[in-house]
Structure 1
Amino acid sequence: MRLSTVILPIHRWGEGQKIWRRAEDLGFHGAYTYDHLSWRSFRDEPWFGAVPTLTAAATATERLRLGTLVTSPNFRHPVTLAKDLITLDDVSGGRLTVGIGAGGTGFDATALGQEAWSPKERADRFGEFLPLLDELLRNDATTREGSYYSAVEARNVPGCVQTPRVPFYVAAAGPRGLRLAAEYGQGWVTYGDPKAPADVPAEQAPRVIAQQIEKLTAACEEKGRDVATLQKMLLQGSTAERPLASLDAFVDWAGTYRDLGITELVIHWPVPDSIFANDLAVFERIATEGLAQLR
């Protein structure tokens, strides 16, 4: 099992670079950030772009995996996103992981002036977005016409450092998304019940994940794939569970999800006076000792 962190893009780089370097020093496997234009309670607070932040983080670190949790079609197009990802993979020396999903109904959903998409349209769009992004990242030139997303002789030379392309970690809970994860993903991402994760009692939260993994397994079988070849990432912070309250709480929590088949846990870097407020000393102890105690 691996342990990673999410560093929200809320810090001016003079301060932010210290956090990304500290994440590497603490031994985290990866450090990710949200790819939003703004987000919930942080909407009127500082919030920087994900790709520039990750590019800066790539130059400030040497070993950390870096990535988005998650990017989506809400304000992205596969052609321009592919160019950004190829560049970021190059700058990072092949340390990029692309967390990607269908998007939701938050501020990003209408920031470009569009009407909010229905769940069906989001799924339809993602069903075009992900295959086209896959093709763009694998090929020097791509032409494809879709109902929502097209590319005409889109060039992506020299391509990704990682081959055949950067890994996709697909955030999904519904049947269509899980099938996309099974077909295109090197990993799968969950944060709990997608409708209302915080409303699920803490003791019932593992069962939600177990049921999702059962559905993921079925989707993989449908695609002729062994589910064991897919990394399984749990993003902490949305459920009623409180694994960052203490080292013991984390070890218990991590052990539960390891036994369910989760291969990577992602915990939020503490942000004072927010929903991600946690004791930094406890957090750093979890980073350095948590998995060792679990083993």
Structure 2
Amino acid sequence: MRFSINIPNFGDFADPRNVATVAAAAEESGWDGLFVWDHVHYRGYSGRPFGDAWMLLTAAVLATSRIRVGTLLTPVARYRPQQLARQVATLDNLSGGRVVFAAGLGGPVEDEYGSFGDSTDRRVLAERLDEGLELLGRFWTGEAVDHHGRHYQARNVSLQPATVQRPRPPVWIGGFWPNRPPMRRAARWDGAVPLFKNALHGYPPDREDVRELITYVCGHRQGDTQRPFDLVVGGATPADAAKAKDVIGPLRDAGATWLRNRAGARPLAGTAHRRRRRPRDGADGAGSGDGRCSVRDARRLPLTRRGAARAGTGRRWGPASPAVPKTFVILSWAGRRSAHLRGRGVDSVHKGVGGSPAPLWPGNRSLLNRDLSVGSGSSVEVSRHHRRATWERRGEV
């Protein structure tokens, strides 16, 4: 069984530098993959910055050499097939053949399509998805393509370079289970990434539901059972190894081949300084993870206080003081000089830009126990309990 980290393409992860940092940390810690959401508009997260998924993955590829990368998932009907084929092929060549392409209708449909005047008819979008997938597979060969379909045309077109992986990168199909049409579509390709209606993001599905899905997909493989097929399920692994094994073991036995851990949510209580390791599914215990995307080597660097405020703590820290405040911790990841603050009860965070602080996050309690990326050597201003203090990083990694 393989394990991946799944991150959104908005908020803190809209910054390619943050994604590169997470990717490098994931590879260093033994994870097998990093997958990024592919949203262009999502009203539920309006007001947050969104990054282009393929730009974010490019940053991840340049920071790694081993792990698989891809989107989870790409709404094919939202793209022009020739543009998407070129992006995927370029990334596959850049990564040396490490791309996985996950596809589906995407959503919310009204946001991703309707907001831009596109069709929101799911039947039409499904037709474009199927026709687009067929065309992508042909484009990725690098051979001349003639296609005259209901939604797309290609007249003697050859897109070079071809993908490194032949005949193409693995194609996974997403959808909600127990909806049957998406899983019949998945049976024609290389894997399924289902969302189970009785297991929301971050919660593992029931073993019997996984077995039912596998049985259904295998029944529609049309005799092509020798070709590898991946089943990617979601679920957070507990910190306790025995409990993690209880999560992973039944899913693996039911037929799951990948477990994707969703990052970006609030970390579990008491895990602020743990190093996030890839879970293990061997007999010696099934993982040491805490169910979130953390990093390698939570090495604490000295802090110096600038300004008279004490951030509500009533304590002072000098440049060489070992008493690092528990509410603010600076980490180093894989030798990359990127400072990260962890704060409790943080009201707002500002980053020094040209001598005047610029807001990075609005004042709200959602910052509780989050990792706040501020950049190497930057000074940051943290407002906590209506008192303000400025901290800067000191020392070398």
Aligned positions of 1:1-295 closer than 5 A: 1-10=1-10, 11=13, 12-39=15-42, 41-106=44-109, 107-118=111-122, 120-172=123-175, 173=177, 174-183=179-188, 185-193=189-197, 197-198=199-200, 205-220=206-221, 223-226=222-225, 229-236=228-235, 243-244=237-238, 246-272=240-266, 277-278=267-268, 281=271, 287-292=277-282, 293-294=285-286
> Residue 39 of structure 1: CA displacement?
3.7
- Residue pair 1:103, 1:122 contacting (<8 A) in 2 also: no
- Residue pair 1:245, 1:282 contacting (<8 A) in 2 also: no
Q: Counterpart amino acid of 2:8?
A: L
> Residue 228 of structure 1: CA displacement?
7.3
Distance in 1 between residues matched to 2:223 and 2:181, nearest whole Å: 16
Distance in 2 between residues matched to 1:104 and 1:36, nearest whole Å: 8
SS of match in other structure, 1:68: strand
Question: Structure 1 pair 91/281, CA: closer, same or farther in 2 (3 Å)?
Answer: farther
Question: Structure 1 pair 260/20, CA: closer, same or farther in 2 (3 Å)?
Answer: same
Distance in 2 between residues matched to 1:284 and 1:191, nearest whole Å: 29
- Residue pair 2:205, 2:234 contacting (<8 A) in 1 also: no
Percent identical pairs in the alignment equals: 26
Question: Structure 1 pair 159/271, CA: closer, same or farther in 2 (3 Å)?
Answer: same
* 1:253-291, Cα deviation, whole Å (9 max, x unpaired): 11110110101111012434xxxx446948966634443
Q: Counterpart amino acid of 1:30?
A: G
- Residue pair 2:38, 2:72 contacting (<8 A) in 1 also: yes
Higher relative contact order (CA 8 A, sep 6+): 1
Question: Structure 1 pair 43/144, CA: closer, same or farther in 2 (3 Å)?
Answer: same
- Residue pair 1:58, 1:66 contacting (<8 A) in 2 also: yes
The CA RMSD over aligned residues, in Å, is 2.8
* 1:26-74, Cα deviation, whole Å (9 max, x unpaired): 1110101011113464332122010011011111111111101111134
Q: Counterpart amino acid of 2:244?
A: F
SS of match in other structure, 2:277: helix
Question: Structure 1 pair 179/288, CA: closer, same or farther in 2 (3 Å)?
Answer: closer
Question: Structure 1 pair 176/267, CA: closer, same or farther in 2 (3 Å)?
Answer: same
SS of match in other structure, 1:111: helix
- Residue pair 1:109, 1:117 contacting (<8 A) in 2 also: no
| TM-score normalized by the length of structure 1 | 0.83
Question: Structure 1 pair 112/54, CA: closer, same or farther in 2 (3 Å)?
Answer: same
| TM-score normalized by the length of structure 2 | 0.63
Distance in 2 between residues matched to 1:111 and 1:213, nearest whole Å: 36
Distance in 2 between residues matched to 1:188 and 1:23, nearest whole Å: 23
Distance in 2 between residues matched to 1:280 and 1:90, nearest whole Å: 41
Distance in 1 between residues matched to 2:37 and 2:21, nearest whole Å: 18
> Residue 206 of structure 1: CA displacement?
2.9
What is the total number of aligned residue pairs between the two structures?
A: 278
> Residue 128 of structure 1: CA displacement?
1.3
Q: Counterpart amino acid of 2:232?
A: M
Question: Structure 1 pair 191/33, CA: closer, same or farther in 2 (3 Å)?
Answer: same
SS of match in other structure, 1:138: coil
Gaps of 5+ in 2: 288-397
- Residue pair 1:141, 1:153 contacting (<8 A) in 2 also: yes
Question: Structure 1 pair 127/13, CA: closer, same or farther in 2 (3 Å)?
Answer: closer
Name whichever structure is richer in strand by fraction. 2
Distance in 1 between residues matched to 2:115 and 2:218, nearest whole Å: 36
When Rg is computed on C-alpha atoms for both structures, the one with the higher figure is 2
SS of match in other structure, 1:189: strand
Gaps of 5+ in 1: 237-241
* 1:77-116, Cα deviation, whole Å (9 max, x unpaired): 2111001111010111111110111323342132331241
